Structure 1
Amino acid sequence: MIKKFLFSALIALCSVTALNAQTKTKETNKLEDPDNLASQYFSQVMGIAVDATSNVKLYKFIYEWIGTPYRFGGNTKKGIDCSAFTKAIYDKVFNTTLLRNSRDIFSMVDPLPKDELKEGDLVFFKIRSTRITHIGIYLGDNRFAHASSSRGVVISNLNEPYYSRFFYKGGRILESAKKDLIEE
């Protein structure tokens, strides 16, 4: 009788241990999944709500570039400028080719006020100039990703005094601009 009880208890203990091991493996795999890492980074560290409607490919791409240094005219992880960063996002995430500089890219958009921006739209700035000098990609909740000349690839808030002062307009790529590039 005692042997049967001990044997049953041993079987139950082994089953619980195996179940715990499976759960931990799933949790570890979930934590190591690049998509999940990007989502956690943006949700917890940056305060951006990444949910089922979010473009995970966009967030994963940005996550992989965070911290890349700024380099005027650069377009690699050794150094990149704001328009090259935006161009790379549109190429890899949205399968859309953009022109090379922020002023030319602005010619491809339907201008929008800040309150109409959606995830993936573009944000344009006139920093100490009468011309557009900076570009980023809108993520939602007033946050945008960009290659900052002083901090490299970062996430910033449009409500920060610096960006609020120099914000020009938002924009959404026109379908006609996409078609024009394809035909060239």
Structure 2
Amino acid sequence: MDYFKLIRNSVLTLAAAFVIFFTPLNENEASAESAYSVEELKEISSKYIGVRYSYGGTSAKGFDCSGYVRHVFKELGITSLERTSSDMYNQGTSVKKSELEPGDLVFFNTSGKRVSHVGIYIGSGKFIHASTSKGVIKTSINDKYYWGNKYVGAKRVANFSTAEAIAAATEDDSDVDNTPEAE
């Protein structure tokens, strides 16, 4: 009989541990930990400006568009991106063009296929990407000569915030007094 109590208690303990482990963090902790820095995104993505285009390229020796995006996001600690632009388009949450935020992936149809090119929106109507003719460059998303007509859509695969917003979210938790009151 004690054997069954031991098994039951073990199962209950494991169930409780499972619930605790998979319980979401409070909103401030979740937003602070899941937000990436816009400033860091811009710094990392910009350091590759001028790197040549290389079909299938995934390193600073040469990038294709999705190899570049994956490389930048990997440096930021985001390792879940698929390898091709069309596969990346199947990830994340759709974003309207009017609601783009830095860090959103922007997709284009440059070859007659639905999605054949990807870049990273960096704000102010610009995106950074590996261009076949010029390598890694910043370009206007609404470029009337080429990119504006090729735009397909955007996806948000991570949340990016300014350093001030991240600090404020962290600060909200740090100013809480958790010392017990004297009785």
- For the aligned pair, the TM-score class normalised by the smaller chain equals 0.5 to 0.7
Provide the residue aligned with 2:62 in structure 1. Answer: 79
- State the SS of the aligned residue for 1:145: strand
Higher-RCO chain (CA-CA 8 Å, sequence separation at least 6) = 2
Instruction: Work out which of the residue numbers 143, 148, 159 in structure 1 matches 2:131.
Output: 148
| Distance in 1, Cα, partners of 2:72 & 2:114 | 23
| Structure 1 residue ranges (4+ consecutive) displaced by more than 6 angstroms after TM superposition | none
Unaligned runs of 5+ in 1: 1-52, 176-184
SS class of match (2:106): strand
1:100 aligns with 2:77: no
CA distance in 2, matches of 1:54, 1:138: 14
Counterpart mapping for 1:1-184 below 5 A: 55-161=38-144, 162-173=146-157
Structure with bigger helix share is: 1
Give unpaired runs (5+ residues) of structure 2.
1-35, 160-183
Match of 1:44 in 2: none
Q: What TM-score results when the alignment is normalised by the length of structure 2? A: 0.63
SS at match of 2:133: coil
* Aligned length in residues: 123
Residues 167 and 137 (structure 1), Cα distance of their counterparts in 2 relative to 1, 3 Å cut: same
Partners of 1:174 and 1:63 lie apart in 2 by: 19
CA change 1:72–1:94 in 2 (3 A) is same
